[in-house]
Amino acid sequence: MASARIDLDGNPIKPLTICMIGAGGFIGSHLCEKLLAETPHTLLAVDVYNDKIKHLLEPSGSSSSSPWADRIQFHRLNIKNDSRLEGLIKMADLTVNLAAICTPADYNTRPLDTIYSNFIDALPVVKYCSENGKRLIHFSTCEVYGKTIGCFLPKDSPLRQDPDYFVLKEDASPCIFGPIEKQRWSYACAKQLIERLIYAEGSENGLEFTIVRPFNWIGPRMDFIPGIDGPSEGVPRVLACFSNNLLRHEPLKLVDGGESQRTFVYIKDAIEAVLLMIENPARANGHIFNVGNPNNEVTVRQLAEMMTQVYAKVSGETPLDSPTIDVSSKEFYGEGYDDSDKRIPDMTIINRQLGWNPKTSLWDLLESTLTYQHRTYAEAIKKSTSKPLAS
């Protein structure tokens, strides 16, 4: 990519070396693709897995190497215990930290792993960036907001309709978690503490940082389909859970009636926001950014209904007569589960600093994602469910 890139203030962007930790995950794979295809930046991609970026590391179907072969290096390492981490951070201009345990099914069933992964394991990353004067973009979560103020109002209170009681603002909203025995909040609490530590490193030691709070980014390559490219008993995030049910012609399981409200943003829109942060440090440093799509709000029940309709369209298959089934959170997630009622991101800060807005409607993003899911998994599911011949 030879042509010079220009930042939002008209200045040329110099090619960067980026240490991307968690590059082999859902968000990392899309960010790697974007950076390699559209920018001159070089990637030190760190993860314990690389299945989702294999196509970038070993392009298939051609004997010649890809145009970006010399701009991506994969380093298979676990940041928990690998002394190579500091060297990689030192080699880079910027570190993007995506590594985390971040599936709700783990928060209450593996709370220690969740806290270690989201807080303790991120500590050396922050420390090495701070000590070596390197910029850090750290991935937090919209879960740090916890519950809305509005959910504590009486059910019939008109204030529940007032955005002041539910829209989540980076610099104003409180973080409201449930009691300690509701271990679901272990993730949000660990993420909040690492945000506070990063913020303090910024104010006391001059760390240049940006914190990203994703609001349900979804799209192709999110998580896994149980029994196909992940454990049969595994419980991925909602998009993959529902996709798995649709692919297998099973009813979609709605936890506690599917009443929680969420906003969903297309991964490709969200990655545009991250690219703006990477290439506009003067506008992004010192900020916490909500990244979501406030226009794509639905209840989880509505999401299930829409996914059922979209899947019927892309697969040509007739939906079940009863496409959903209710399950209790205790049955589905186990003891210690709890939930946020509603999550609408305020977009003022990201609009002002980076001029970013999401574009893709929920229907369109589900159509492209479920087309991918169908194309990628339908055959494999058919094979796995057809009975083996008796020998």
- Interaction of residue 280 with ligand NAD, rule CB under 6 A: no
Closest residue to ligand NAD using C-beta atoms = 25
Query: What is the dihedral angle through the alpha carbons of 263, 31, 283, 354, rounded to the nearest 10 degrees?
Result: -50
Residue nearer to ligand NAD on the CB measure, 98 or 254: 98
Would you give the end-to-end CA distance of the chain in angstroms? 56
Per the DSSP assignment, residues forming a β-bridge with 297 are 263
Burial-class residue 361 by CB neighbours within 10 Å (0-12, 13-18, 19+): middle
Q: Give the nearer residue to ligand NAD in terms of CB position, either 47 or 305.
A: 47
- Of the listed pieces 95-103, 228-236, 245-253, 368-376, which binds ligand NAD according to CB under 6 A? 95-103
CB of 214 to ligand NAD, least distance (A): 4
Task: Give whichever of 22 and 111 is closer to ligand NAD, judged by the CB atom.
Answer: 22
Give the integer Cα–Cα distance in Å for 4 and 13. 7
Q: Which of residues 38-57 bind ligand NAD (CB under 6 A)?
A: 47-49
Would the CA dihedral through 246, 31, 355, 345 be positive or negative? Answer: positive
* Residue 168 · residue 346 · CB < 8 Å: yes
Q: Which of 18, 26, 201, 279 binds ligand NAD (CB under 6 A)?
A: 26
Nearest to 230 by CA among 49, 74, 32, 28: 49
SS3 284: helix
Q: Give residues with Cβ within 8 angstroms of 48, minimum separation 6.
A: 24, 76, 77, 78
What minimum distance in Å lies between the beta carbon of 353 and ligand NAD? 20
Instruction: Report if residue 220 touches ligand NAD, rule: CB under 6 A.
Output: no
- Give yes or no: 199 in active site: no
33 binding ligand NAD? (CB under 6 A): no
Torsion of CA 353, 361, 24, 385, to 10 degrees: 170
The verdict on 28 binding ligand NAD (CB under 6 A) reads yes
Q: Which of residues 170-209 bind ligand NAD (CB under 6 A)?
A: none
| List 107, 128, 145, 187, catalytic entry | 187
Q: Which stretch binds ligand NAD (CB under 6 A): 23-31, 241-249, 283-291, 332-340?
A: 23-31
* Residue with Cβ nearer ligand NAD (24 or 251): 24
Torsion (CA) 109, 112, 113, 117 in degrees, nearest 10:
130
Q: Which residues contact 151 (CB under 8 A, 6 or more apart)?
A: 341, 342
Sketch the per residue contact string, 104 through 133, with ligand NAD: x for CB under 6 A, - otherwise. Answer: -------------x---x------------
Span of 6-14, 87-95, 211-219, 369-377 interacting with ligand NAD by CB under 6 A? 211-219
**Which residue, chain included where needed, has tokens 């297998």?**
248
| 76 counts as binding ligand NAD under rule CB under 6 A | no
Residue 217 contacts ligand NAD per CB under 6 A: yes
Considering only residues 6, 15, 58, 80, which one is a binding residue for ligand NAD as defined by CB under 6 A?
80
The beta strands (E) that lie in 113-234 are given as 135-139, 167-168, 209-214, 217-218
Question: How far is residue 89's CA from residue 103's CA, in Å, rounded to a whole number?
Answer: 27
Q: Which of 20, 102, 238, 354 is in the footprint of ligand NAD by CB under 6 A? A: 102
Minimum CB distance to ligand NAD, residue 116 (Å): 9
Which listed residue (19, 36, 88, 98) binds ligand NAD by CB under 6 A? 98
Q: Give yes or no for residue 84 binding ligand NAD (CB under 6 A).
A: no
79 part of the interface to ligand NAD, by CB under 6 A: yes
Q: Of 222 and 254, which CB lies nearer to ligand NAD in the complex structure?
A: 222
C-alpha torsion sign, points 275, 279, 281, 282 = negative
Residues in touch with ligand NAD (CB under 6 A): 22, 24-28, 47-49, 78-80, 98-100, 102, 117, 121, 139, 141, 214, 216-217
Catalytic residue annotation: 187
